[in-house]
Structure 1
Amino acid sequence: MLPVLLLLALLAACSPAPRQVPDLPGWGEDRLAEAIPPFLAGCRPPRFPAALCAEAAGLPPGDDAAARAFFARRFTLRHAGEGLMTGYYEPELRGALTPGPGYRTPLLGRPGDLMEVDLGRFAEDLKGRKILGRVEEGAFVPYPDRAAIEAGATDAPVLLWAADPAEAFFLQIQGSGRVVLPDGSVRRLGYAAGNGRRYVPIGRLLADRGEIPREQVSMQSILAWLEQAGPARARALMDANPSYVFFRETPARPDQGPTGSLGVPLTPLRSVAVDRAHIPLGSPVWIVTRHPLTGAPLRRLVLAQDTGGAIRGEARADLFWGWGEAAAGAAGRMKEKAILYVLEPAAP
């Protein structure tokens, strides 16, 4: 037995030690107590051990030192790599319950004929892959694209009527938002389903065509172009993105963000959308990037609580900025390099 123990000791001594959480750039500067409530919202077995969630729930509120010690003690690091960090927000747009002058753009609910097929049930090598479509004349076919849906090729119910087609388009890109009715009341819409078509960024199309310099492409510059282009050209550009999003009404407190893919409300600057094939939902993620408006270092702990059609890759992420004009201004301009570290529960 002694030689075996000696060999194990030698192997352990030769193995490189994993990077410790406190070594992260900016680790001592973040107000980590702010990350505890959103972490607890998604902390449950089997995603995390029950004991770990109970320990987090027992931390003193607002105690950054205690939160910092908790994450350092209970997690190890995995370097996800360097990638692109964009931003998103919860838009607010004008709408009405019925169509009328100034309210002509429908916001659609999930259609009854939209079907999702799990290909893994048919072939082992397709496990994890899904497709969306509908049945026509006994055959399963792709669901109509954006242009066809807007021309009436769906039985989707109309939830609300928007005042601005461009605002409705960006509501689909963001995946959720608040619709302010003429009487001042607010209806909140969340993502219900997509049509399964490939997402095409219209900002990239405008850059390729020389309409907007590539380095100046942002949500704000795209909206300005759509407004100046006129209805026909604007509609043609938006239809060049065949992806379409259907909504559902989501009751939520006005002081909370929309519900993300994890099923919990998103928290401004603490929630991030990721590719769940590479980063499990619920995971704490340390991001090293910079502020899109000031250029100041932006290094903080966020929670992987959402996904997105354009978020693909090991180190691709989309930071949730909240709602309102300030959030829209920052989110629309964020296109920064970022380094991501995933915090994974340490072995007992």
Structure 2
Amino acid sequence: MRYYLLTVFIVASLAGCVGKPPVEAPPAGVEIEALKRVQWDQVDGWLLDRPAAALVTFQQSCKAIASREKWQLVCAEADKISTPGEKNARDFFEQNFYPYQVRNSDGSADGLITGYYGPELSGSRIQTEEYRYPIYRLPDDMLIIDLDGLYPELGKYRLRGRVVGNRVVPYFDRSEIDNSDMPLSGQELFWVKDPVDLFFLHIQGSGRIRLPNGELVMVNYANQNGHPYRSIGKLLLEREVMTRDQMSMQNIRKWVAENPEAGKQLLAENPSYVFFRELSSEFQSPPGALGVPLTALRSLAVDPRTIPLGAPVFLSTTFPGTDFPLKQLMVAQDTGGAIKGEVRADFFWGMGNAAGKIAGKMKQEGFLWVLLPKEELVDPLQSQSENSALNDGTVN
């Protein structure tokens, strides 16, 4: 059996391994290399923000983290504030948290801040001549293999594959899924008009489908095919199709539209493929990795190896394409395949095309301060299973 699982690992590795959610950062009071305790007046822009909106967003986080020991007291205090205002919100954060500046492994404190959004696509529940491109649910034949039991050293990996005869092989990549054979026929959730819009839905991980009758339905990341993500933007840069100054989601979309055959080949060069689930009508904004609906302009995607999901995070950066300051309190409620590193974050701009235009231009230098509860309540070596229950990884 051990040799069989090892074979599975080797074969599936050809398609890429998807890491399991990492253990979250230590609780307040525990110094680690990436976090440096500072005073409130060292948080750049702290007094410039209006933090009531961030408190409401944090209260949403508490629906997911209040049962976790180190967050119980601070979430109980947040729950007492029924009408958040600017003064009582600021008092709440200053009285219950310590600020920690996030630093990179080389000791620097600046990093990349990008933006993301929830796209809206025109779609249908049935295939028509107008709606020809499928959004797939999690396929019935996809295996998800954990290696924790027999190979602890590989326990952070989760492998995807399928059974062919008596062998487990890598799951279909993008080019195989999208070819004319349609190997996932019967697994469609919706059909949409535009393949480029569908591609960007995969990158964002969540979005809305506008049906012909005007109904809006939210779809959200369900899982991924196990193949590594390959950035088409990076490919365009390497091939000198665009310069860094030209690079944006809008320009990529324009280039693909103007070069339909080359554009189709370009999209196929990203083998990663995302599967979706339909959410109930109560969701007007997509849930992030924390499981609560994201809040436009206040939710942040982070790398949870440094910043714990659910924690308030103060961001100091600039608005996309300008030098105008953007300094405000956010809440870490999401993760993303490209959000790796200490000082690295993705700013959620909201739903629809207007949010997408701003998000696609955001590539700013920024600084982060994570707020952690003053009470040191638990051992810093937190249970990994507790974190895994809250974060199964989304793609942004």
TM-score, with structure 2 as normaliser: 0.79
Q: CA deviation at 1:276?
A: 1.9
What is aligned with 1:5? Answer: none
Q: Does 1:23 align with 2:51?
A: no
Q: Does 1:45 align with 2:64?
A: no
| % identical equivalent positions | 43
What is aligned with 1:97? Answer: 125
Q: Does 1:117 align with 2:145?
A: yes
What is aligned with 1:241? Answer: 270
Amino acid at match of 2:166: G
Q: Which runs of structure 2 are paired with 1:83-94 in the superposition (5 Å)?
A: 83-94=111-122
Q: Distance in 1 between matches of 2:70 and 2:183?
A: 44
* Match 2:76 to one of 46, 54, 61: 54
Q: Distance in 2 between matches of 1:165 and 1:342?
A: 38
* Match 1:343 to one of 357, 360, 371: 371
Q: Distance in 1 between matches of 2:151 and 2:130?
A: 50
Q: Aligned-residue CA RMSD in angstroms?
A: 1.8
What is aligned with 2:301? Answer: 273
What is aligned with 1:207? Answer: 237
Q: Distance in 1 between matches of 2:254 and 2:162?
A: 36
Q: Distance in 2 between matches of 1:80 and 1:27?
A: 15
* 1:35-58, Cα deviation, whole Å (9 max, x unpaired): 112111122121643221121122
What is aligned with 2:165? Answer: 137
Q: Distance in 2 between matches of 1:145 and 1:177?
A: 22
What is aligned with 1:149? Answer: 177
Evaluate the alpha carbon distance shift between residue 334 and residue 123 of structure 1 in structure 2; reply closer, same or farther with a 3 A threshold.
same
Q: Distance in 1 between matches of 2:342 and 2:194?
A: 35
| Structure 2 residue matching 1:42: 3-state secondary structure | helix
Answer whether contact 1:280 1:304 (CA < 8 A) is retained. yes
* Match 1:224 to one of 250, 254, 272: 254
- Any unmatched runs of 5+ in structure 1? 1-16
Evaluate the alpha carbon distance shift between residue 104 and residue 247 of structure 1 in structure 2; reply closer, same or farther with a 3 A threshold.
same
Q: CA deviation at 1:155?
A: 5.6
Answer whether contact 2:314 2:328 (CA < 8 A) is retained. yes
Q: Does 1:73 align with 2:102?
A: no
Answer whether contact 1:111 1:155 (CA < 8 A) is retained. no
Answer whether contact 2:302 2:346 (CA < 8 A) is retained. yes
What is aligned with 1:106? Answer: 134
Q: Distance in 2 between matches of 1:319 and 1:69?
A: 25
* Match 1:298 to one of 322, 326, 342: 326
Amino acid at match of 1:245: V
Q: Distance in 1 between matches of 2:68 and 2:178?
A: 42
Q: Which runs of structure 2 are paired with 1:149-168 in the superposition (5 Å)?
A: 149-151=177-179, 152-154=182-184, 157-168=187-198
What is aligned with 1:4? Answer: none
* 1:287-324, Cα deviation, whole Å (9 max, x unpaired): 11110044311111111111111111112211100013
Amino acid at match of 1:120: D
What is aligned with 1:308? Answer: 336
Q: Which has the higher contact order (CA 8 A, sep 6+)?
A: 2
Q: CA deviation at 1:156?
A: 6.2
What is aligned with 1:198? Answer: 228
43-52 vs 24-33, which moves further: 43-52
Q: Distance in 2 between matches of 1:301 and 1:23?
A: 14
Amino acid at match of 2:38: R
Q: Distance in 2 between matches of 1:122 and 1:77?
A: 40
Q: Distance in 1 between matches of 2:93 and 2:362?
A: 28
Answer whether contact 2:111 2:367 (CA < 8 A) is retained. yes
Q: Distance in 2 between matches of 1:41 and 1:68?
A: 17
Q: CA deviation at 1:238?
A: 0.3
| Structure 2 residue matching 1:216: 3-state secondary structure | coil
* 1:251-292, Cα deviation, whole Å (9 max, x unpaired): 2447x4211111100001111111222222111111111100
What is aligned with 2:391? Answer: none
Amino acid at match of 1:40: Q
Q: Distance in 2 between matches of 1:114 and 1:305?
A: 28
Q: CA deviation at 1:229?
A: 0.4
Evaluate the alpha carbon distance shift between residue 200 and residue 156 of structure 1 in structure 2; reply closer, same or farther with a 3 A threshold.
farther
Amino acid at match of 2:56: P
Q: Distance in 2 between matches of 1:252 and 1:309?
A: 27
Evaluate the alpha carbon distance shift between residue 155 and residue 325 of structure 1 in structure 2; reply closer, same or farther with a 3 A threshold.
closer
* 1:316-338, Cα deviation, whole Å (9 max, x unpaired): 21110001332111101101111
Evaluate the alpha carbon distance shift between residue 141 and residue 341 of structure 1 in structure 2; reply closer, same or farther with a 3 A threshold.
farther
* 1:170-212, Cα deviation, whole Å (9 max, x unpaired): 0111111111112212221111111111111111111111111
Q: Distance in 2 between matches of 1:55 and 1:170?
A: 40
Answer whether contact 2:38 2:101 (CA < 8 A) is retained. no
